[in-house]
Each structure stands twice: as structure tokens, then as C-alpha cells.
Chain A
Amino acid sequence: MFVTIKNVSKWFGDVIALNNISIDLEHGAIGLVGLNGAGKTTLIKILNGLLKPTEGTVKIYGQNVWGNLDLFSKIGYCPEIDNQMNYLTGLKFVQYNLQLHGYSRQEAIRKAQDVLERLNMTTAMTRKIKGYSRGMRQRVKVAQAIAHDPAILLLDEPLQGLDPIGRYELTTLFNELIKEGKDLIVSSHVLHELEKVSQTIVFIDHGKILGKSNISDLRATLKEIPQRFLIKTDKPVKLAQQLLPYKLIDDVQLKDNEIIIGVKNVQEFSFKLIEVAKETHAEIKELRPLDESLEAVFDYIYRGNY
């Protein structure tokens, strides 16, 4: 176990953010999944010592987290917030973060350059963060988290707001870090993002841990669960009519130029969709899973209804 959480509760005044949770996490990559407000960020903040549990104990590598400076130097944290020190350049931001970890100036500059190059920020690193796109900000946040070569990475919604290429690049990087032997805890409210990174998924809802699942078991279960997708197209009616007869389609809703579609087998659906789009000459402008589908997963797995 590299993380042991025992009877942890966290209250913010009258509101309970974490409700008596206990869980042990093994080495490797852990995905923390839950809807917005489920308690993921609170748990991550407790794990990196920004919050103190109201009750219970949290240990990483057998050590208490709160106020443990030795542990802080081994943790890399990528927060959910979109604000970074906007008055700095990307390079200075990572460099100062490294110096705050105890690296000398020269060493910090060198390491900062290396890590930013690894994140494809070579040309942008000398520009002020203020002018960065959302994707660049995410990369710089990840860069400062991994630059000091920590043993544990706590990543709070690291893929949020990224375009598909950005998501792919960061997912690839996370997988490389896992191969290097780092322990990762990644939170997201979108399940399919975590599938690509984590070996174990922990479901959290309303401050409670609903359960822990191995990713391969979860994949098998997910095949059975209808998932909802949003399709934006120029010929929504025609496309919907053509798709509806297939058994893998659970339900179809039409709204302006959008189709909201429930499907049972995502892989098969993606092939069918291309086929039907070709036949109907429909242009697929956007295809994305709806975040709400996570709720469906919860309902299906833990509440037994859908």
C-alpha cells in the first residue's frame, strides 16, 4: 500500500465533503472518478497536505501527511485551478517551483528546460503565462508537478479543457511516468479519460467511496452499460433514422442539429457511425461522450438502476 486512508472525514462548516472514508491504494496508477462536487479535490488536497482531515488518518508510504516536509518533497501536485503565476514566463514558473523544492538556480533552469521540452513547450517557455492558451497552462502545471522527479504524482483534473491532441499527449506522458515507476493518483469526472491512464478506478460520490474497480473488470462492465454520446451533424434526422434500427443503439433524442444517443457497445458503435455517415453523406462535426454518462455508470454499478 502506498496510501492508507482510515476513517477520514472532512467538514467545511456544516457541509461534509468526505464522509468517513477508508481505503488502501496499491502502487501504480489510481483513477479517482466522481461527479463535480463529489469530494475528489478535497481528497487530493488532504493527500498533499493542503487540508487536514477533521477525523481519521491519511498516510503515504506509512507517514502522516499533514505538515510532513519530507513527504512534500516526494509529491508532485498538479492543481485543478486555472491560475498560475501569470506574471512569470513558463520557464521561470517551473524554475522557481524547482528552487522551492531545494534545487540550485542553475540546476533548476536546466531541469525546467528539460521538462518543458518534454511537454512540447520549447518555443512558448520564454513567454509570459498570461498569454498562454488553456492547453499550455495545463502543460506548465503538469511540468512543475513532475520537474523535481517526485515518487508520487497527484493530478487533479489534468486533462480538463484540453483538445484531443493535448489529451493524447498528456495521457502518453502519464503512461511513461507510470512505466518509470511513479505512483499516480489522477482525478477526473470523465471516466473514459481515466481508462487510458489508470489501472484501478476509485469511484467517489457525495463524499463517500462507492467502490474500487480494476480497469479490465470495469471495461467488461462498461460494455453492458448504455453510454450517451452527443453527435453534431448537418443531417441529424437522416443519421438518427439510419442508426435507430441497430440493436446496439439504446435510445435516440434529436435536438436542433444535435443527436443524443445511448449506445451499448462503444467500439461497435464507432464503426457503425462511420459507415452510416458515409451512406447518408452526413458530416460529423462533433462526437463526444456526455459527462453525465458517469452518473449512469454509478447508477448501473452501485445503485442497480439505469
Chain B
Amino acid sequence: MSLWKPFLIIYTGGITNMNDIEKIQKNSLSKRGNPWIIYILQIKKYLSGGFFWAVLGSGYLFPLILFVIYSRTHKDLTNYGYWEVSLKLIFEGYFAYYVVLVPLVLATAAFRDEFNDQNIIYILVKPIKRQYIFAMKYLAYLTTSTVVTLPPLLLTVLVANTYSLKKDPYFHEPSSTVLLNTALLVAGLFLMLIGYGVVFMTVSILVKRPLLINLILGFSAIFEVIFTDLINNNWEFLYIAINFISRYWQGFDSLDVFFRRQFLFGLSAINGIWHAIIIILVFFAIGMRKIPQKQLY
């Protein structure tokens, strides 16, 4: 045995005890775990939380509010009045708050809750690459947040279009334009969900108490700047909505200017999309890089 030992050490990478080798060989086909289970578990966890249902339910307040406004005001809403009211509600309410709140709740909770109650242990000790954990939780967040946010938006648009077509004699938008507008709203929604989600989730890995930081990020600096750029000159209503949030309501005017100077953000819609993509990729890369180094104290 001693003669073979040096060769054995080289061959086995330092394992010299035959018993050890047998133990390793016993399970020689080391299995890799199924990462989709992380996805399933995350969705089940979302569904089990009472807060999730509150967030889900509150989304339907938007079409309800719009319906109440329309049914109570019969005059003065012609000449695209119905349409403008719906946009005001969609941008200043739905997009400005709801579509930030949903990722804030769901994406932050995906890791934070499990780090707090330590249930993440059961996933971290499994033979699954940690990057898959991040990716699967993110995918579960995207699925859930889409299910939560998309139907209320479509319902609001449906209510707005129905009233505009029925009651506004000046509303002559062809159905293709209506569809295009709706598609743009849905695209904006996805961009916000993807963007906010990855930022919030990454922050929740990096810091112990991510909610406050995410709250500041969510309702102030980064994405408002991007979306201001995104819609500038092209979709004035969104510009107004974002300005309203970042400047008058939240008073983050200086941050807006700071980010504009720091990152040389331009003013075109295309630039806005590029900046959003860059931020998404950067935060995704940070998350994927940090999760393998994460230790559970």
C-alpha cells in the first residue's frame, strides 16, 4: 500500500484512505439537483403569504377607480377626456406606485425572508450551482409579478377604451393604434418589472436590511431617470408622470440631476432603453457573482 501511496495521492487528488474512496464511489454519480424546484418553492412561498394577496387585490383598484370616475362624470370628458383620465391614473398611480411596489415586495422578499428565517439553508446545501438559485428565484418573481400586475393594467385599458369608444364622439383611434398603445404599456410594464426586480433582488443579497435601500431606489433615482429619458418628447404623458414623481412629489430633483451628470444620460427614448438594459445587466451580473460568495451566519 505504501508503495502505491504517492500514485494514489496523485490519482485521487489527496485521498489516501480506501474507505474514503469507497464512500465517494458509493455515490460516484454525484447527482445535481433540479433547480426548477427552487422556482416552484418560491412561487408556493409567495402564494402562502397574506401580503401577496393584499398586493394582488390592490391592483384591481385601478380599473375599479376608473370605472367609478367614469360612471360619476357624464359630461366634459369628450375630446379624448376619458382617454386622458385613464392615462393619468395609469401613469401617476399604477406605474408610479403600484408597479414599483410589487417588485419592492416580491423581489426583496425572495431572498430577504429566507435569509431571515434561514430556510435558504435547505437550498444552499444542495448540489445546485448558486447562480441557479438566483436565476430561479428571479424567474419565479417575474412570473408572479406578471400575474399580479398585468391583468389590472389590461382591465384598466379595457375600461378606458370601452368608455372612450362609447361616450366620446371625438375619439377616433383605429383599433391598431389602441393595440399598439396597449402593447407599449405592456412593454413598459415588463421593463419596469425586469429592472426593478433585478435591482431589488441583488440589493437583498448585498445588505442585511434591504427594504429601506430598495424603497429609496424604487421611488427615487435610477428608473425615474431612465423612464424620463425613455419617453421624452415621444410620450409626453409619461414624462409628466415621471416628473411628477421624481420632482414635485418626492423631491428627488437633485438626485435626478446627479444621475444625469454622473452617467451622462441622454434624452432620447432609445438611450433610455439602453440605460435600462445596462442597469439590468450590471445588477444581474452583481447578483450572479455575489450569490456564490454568500455565507449564512
CB within 8 Å of B: which residues of A?
1-2, 12, 27, 45, 48-52, 59, 61-63, 67, 69-70, 72-75, 77, 79, 81, 83-88, 96-97, 99-103, 144, 151, 183
Q: Which residues on the A side are within 8 Å of B44 (C-beta)?
A: 85, 87-88
Q: Are B127 and A72 neighbours in the complex by a CB distance under 8 Å?
A: yes
CB within 8 Å of A: which residues of B?
12-17, 19-20, 23-24, 26-27, 30-34, 37-38, 40-41, 44-45, 47-48, 117-119, 121-129, 292-293, 295-297
Q: Are A99 and B34 neighbours in the complex by a CB distance under 8 Å?
A: yes
Q: Which of A61, A72, A81, A96 is the one whose CB lies under 8 Å from B125?
A: A72
Which of B40, B119, B121, B125 has the most chain A CB atoms inside 10 A of its CB? B125
Q: Are A69 and B295 neighbours in the complex by a CB distance under 8 Å?
A: no
Can you show 15 pairs from A to B with CB atoms below 8 A apart?
A12-B297, A27-B19, A50-B295, A61-B20, A62-B12, A63-B15, A73-B30, A73-B32, A73-B33, A74-B24, A79-B122, A87-B47, A100-B37, A102-B34, A102-B127
A101/B31 contact (C-beta < 8 A), A61-B15, A73-B127, A87-B48 known? yes
Which of A52, A72, A84 has the most chain B CB atoms inside 10 A of its CB? A72
Chain A min CB distance to B268 (Å): 44
Q: Are B15 and A69 neighbours in the complex by a CB distance under 8 Å?
A: no
Chain A min CB distance to B132 (Å): 11
Q: Are B23 and A85 neighbours in the complex by a CB distance under 8 Å?
A: no
Closest-by-CB residue of A relative to B32 is: A102
Chain A min CB distance to B131 (Å): 11
Q: Are A77 and B121 neighbours in the complex by a CB distance under 8 Å?
A: yes
Q: Which residues on the B side are within 8 Å of A144 (C-beta)?
A: 122
Chain A min CB distance to B106 (Å): 15
Chain B min CB distance to A271 (Å): 42
Q: Which residues on the A side are within 8 Å of B293 (C-beta)?
A: 52
Q: Which of B17, B24, B41 is the one whose CB lies under 8 Å from A85?
A: B41
- Give complex CA distance A48, B20 in Å: 17
Q: Are A62 and B20 neighbours in the complex by a CB distance under 8 Å?
A: yes
Closest-by-CB residue of A relative to B129 is: A69
Chain A min CB distance to B236 (Å): 46
Q: Which of A50, A83, A99 is the one whose CB lies under 8 Å from B119?
A: A83
Q: Which of A2, A81, A86 is the one whose CB lies under 8 Å from B121?
A: A81
Q: Which residues on the A side are within 8 Å of B47 (C-beta)?
A: 87
- Give complex CA distance A83, B115 in Å: 11
Q: Which of B12, B17, B127 is the one whose CB lies under 8 Å from A69?
A: B127
- Give complex CA distance A70, B118 in Å: 23
- Give complex CA distance A75, B129 in Å: 16
- Give complex CA distance A81, B44 in Å: 21
Q: Are A96 and B292 neighbours in the complex by a CB distance under 8 Å?
A: no
Q: Which residues on the A side are within 8 Å of B128 (C-beta)?
A: 69, 100
Q: Are B121 and A87 neighbours in the complex by a CB distance under 8 Å?
A: no
Q: Which residues on the B side are within 8 Å of A101 (C-beta)?
A: 31, 33, 126-127
Q: Which of B23, B26, B40, B296 is the one whose CB lies under 8 Å from A51?
A: B296
Q: Which 10 A-B pairs have the closest CB atoms?
A: A102-B31, A62-B15, A87-B48, A100-B126, A73-B127, A70-B30, A69-B127, A100-B33, A61-B20, A72-B127
Q: Which residues on the A side are within 8 Å of B33 (C-beta)?
A: 73, 99-102
Q: Are A49 and B125 neighbours in the complex by a CB distance under 8 Å?
A: yes
Q: Which of A45, A69, A96 is the one whose CB lies under 8 Å from B37?
A: A96
Q: Are B127 and A151 neighbours in the complex by a CB distance under 8 Å?
A: no
Closest-by-CB residue of B relative to A61 is: B20
Closest-by-CB residue of A relative to B40 is: A96
Which of B14, B32, B33, B117 has the most chain A CB atoms inside 10 A of its CB? B33
Chain B min CB distance to A119 (Å): 17
A52/B41 contact (C-beta < 8 A), A74-B27, A81-B118 known? no
